Amino acid sequence: MGDEHAYALEISGDSMQPLYREGDIVIVSPAAMPRRGDRVVVKTRDGEVLAKELVRMTPRTVDLRSLNPEYEDRQIPAAEVLWVARIIWATQ
């Protein structure tokens, strides 16, 4: 992978089905700059960890989309986001 800072996380929940399912393992890279349309993991100040698709990231907000249509899109104030890491690999 070439990123010594990359690490693995386990998917919990079904908001990203059918792409990611409960128990899938994703590798995230804090060094990889996230772009619109990337699948990302976001951690908020209140400890919430979300795997979503990045719609937009501005100085004011981080806009996220679930692939599962049963879940609404999320807009999180940028001040509430601790970090955003791009998903670079996943078990399927």
Q: Which two tokens stand for residue 41?
A: 């993991």
Average pLDDT over residues 70-79: 97
Pairwise CA distance, residues 9 & 90, whole Å: 9
Nearest alpha carbon to residue 27 among 91, 87, 92: 87
Residue 5 pLDDT more than 90? Answer: no
All domains of the chain, ordered by start, with CATH? 7-90 (2.10.109.10)
Enter the pTM of the model. Answer: 0.91
Least confident of 1-5, 32-36, 50-54, 88-92: 1-5
pLDDT at 29: 95
**Does the pLDDT at position 62 exceed 80?**
yes
E-assigned strand segments in 1-92: 7-10, 25-29, 39-44, 49-57, 61-65, 74-77, 81-90
pLDDT at 15 over 80: yes
Query: Is residue 41 within 8 Å of 51, Cβ to Cβ?
Result: yes
Say which residue the tokens 């992978």 belong to. 1
